[in-house]
Amino acid sequence: MAIRTRLTDLLEIEHPVVLGGMGSGTSPELVAAVSEAGGLGVQGGAGRPPEVLGSLAAEIRSRTRRPFGVNLLLFMASPEQREALLQVAPPVFSTSWPMPEDDLRPLFERAHSAGSRVMHMVNGVPEAERAAEAGADVIVAQGTEGGGHVALISTLVLTPMVVRAVAPVPVLAAGGIADGSGLAAALMLGAEGVLMGTRFLATPESPWPASFKQAIVASDGHDTLLSDILDIAKGNLWPGAFDRVRRNRLLEDWLGREGEVRRHRNAIAARMRQAVAEDDAENGELNFGQVAGLIDAIEPAAEIVRRVAAEAEQLLTTRSGLVTDKSPA
C-alpha cells in the first residue's frame, strides 16, 4: 500500500511527506534521512554564505541519490545567494517570504532552466496566486499554528482556500502536522501532501541543542506565542510575519518592552547565541509550533516519515467505513 498523489508523481518520491527547509533546524544528515525514507528532505539555506550552499548540497548528494530541496528566505537572500543556489540546481528550489517588489517569475524561470522544480511557501491566498502566476510547481500553504515565522490564518482554513485559488498547481499543507491523522486530514482538504517542521526538530538528526529538542517533547502545545521581539533583536524585518516561539525566560524578560529590546538588541542577540552554545532552552530562540503538544519523543527522521505515511494509509482505509447507505435504526 502507498499513498500516491500529484506530489509524489511530480517529485518521484514514495511518501507525500516533506521536511520544512528550516534555517536553524536542518542539516545534510536530516535532509538525507528524510529523502532516503521516501519523503523529501529540504535543507534550510537562510543566512548561509553562497559557497556554503554549494557544500551543503554536495554533502546531501554524497548521502543520498534521492530528490532533495534547498530553501532560501527570499526577503533576505542576496543576489549572490540566489545565483549560488541556481548553480547548485537542487531537484527542488524551495522559496518563501519574498518582498512584494521581488519579481518571482524570472527567478522561477531560471530555476526551471537549471532543472529544478520550484516549491514556494505562502501564508495567504494573494501570495499563493502570485506564486502560481510566477510559475511555481508546488505551493505550500502554511498556517499560523506552525513553528517559526507565520501569519495569522490557520492551516485548516488556508489550505482549501489556496487549493481552490491555484488549481491545478499542487498544494502542500504546513503548520500543525506531526502524524498520520494530520496527513490524512490535509489530503481531505485537497492538499497533495504535508510539510512538517517542528516534528523533524525532535529527531537525533536535527542540529538543535538537546535541551531545545527536549522542550518540544515536554511542551503541551500551549507554551508558544507570536512575537516580534527576537526578530527585533536580530535586526530582521520579516515581510508580514510573526515569530511563533516558545514562551521561555528570554521571552518573559522582554515581552511588552519592544522599545527596550531595540535599545538592548545586541545584548539580547548575544544571549541567544550563547544559549545555543550552552544548550540552554530557557534563554534560546525556540521557534516551534503548537503541534509540539502531539510530539512525545525524539525519534529518527526515517521512522517519522514511514509512520506518518502508514498511519495515514490506515486512517484513509478504515475511515471510509463511516460512509454507509444504511439509515439510523
Ligand X SMILES: Cc1cc2nc3c(=O)[nH]c(=O)nc-3n(C[C@H](O)[C@H](O)[C@H](O)COP(=O)(O)O)c2cc1C
Q: Which residue is nearest to ligand X (CB)?
A: 197
Which of residues 264 and 311 has its CB atom nearest to ligand X in the complex?
311
Cell of 204: 537525533
User: Which span sits near ligand X by CB under 6 A: 169-177, 235-243, 263-271, 310-318?
Assistant: 169-177
14, 17, 25, 203: which one contacts ligand X (CB under 6 A)? 25
Min. distance of Cβ 290 from ligand X in angstroms? Answer: 7
Closest distance between ligand X and the C-beta of residue 205, in Å? Answer: 14
Question: Distance between CA atoms of 194 and 18, rounded to whole angstroms?
Answer: 6
Contact pattern for ligand X over residues 306 through 325, marking x by CB under 6 A: --------------------
Is 71 one of the binding residues for ligand X (CB under 6 A)?
yes
How many Å apart are CA 155 and CA 134, to the nearest integer? 23
Minimal distance in Å, beta carbon 86 to ligand X? 17
**Of the two residues 176 and 180, which places its CB atom closer to ligand X in the complex?**
176
Count of helix runs (H) and strand runs (E) in the chain: 15, 11
Encoded amino acid at 302, one letter = A
The Cβ of residue 329 has, within 10 Å, a number of other Cβ atoms equal to 3
CA 154 to chain centre: 15
Q: In sequence order, which residues have a C-beta less than 8 Å from that of residue 265 and are 6 or more positions away?
A: 232, 233, 234, 235
* CA–CA gap between residue 53 and residue 56 (Å, rounded): 5
Contact residue for ligand X among 8, 15, 20, 131 (CB under 6 A)? 20
Sole binder of ligand X in the list 8, 11, 23, 283 (CB under 6 A): 23
Minimum CB–partner distance for residue 138 and ligand X (Å): 13
Select from 139-147, 223-231, 298-306, 318-326 the region that touches ligand X (CB under 6 A): 139-147
Q: Is 182 in the site for ligand X (CB under 6 A)?
A: no
| Euclidean distance between CA atoms 138 and 173, whole angstroms | 11
CB 158 within 8 A of CB 174: no
Candidates 69, 98, 148, 193; binder of ligand X (CB under 6 A) is: 148
| Interface with ligand X, residue 209, by CB under 6 A | no
Closest separation between CB of residue 288 and ligand X, Å?
Answer: 5
Alpha-carbon distance of 315 to 98, in angstroms, equals 37
211, amino acid identity: S
3-class secondary structure per residue, 119-132: EEEECCHHHHHHHH
Spatial distance between the Cα atoms of 130 and 120, rounded to a whole number of angstroms: 10
Q: Is 123 in the site for ligand X (CB under 6 A)?
A: no
> Binding mask 42-61 vs ligand X (x if CB under 6 A, - otherwise)?
--x-x---------------
Residues that bind ligand X (CB under 6 A): 20-25, 44, 46, 71, 73, 96, 121, 142, 145-148, 174-177, 195-199, 287-289, 291
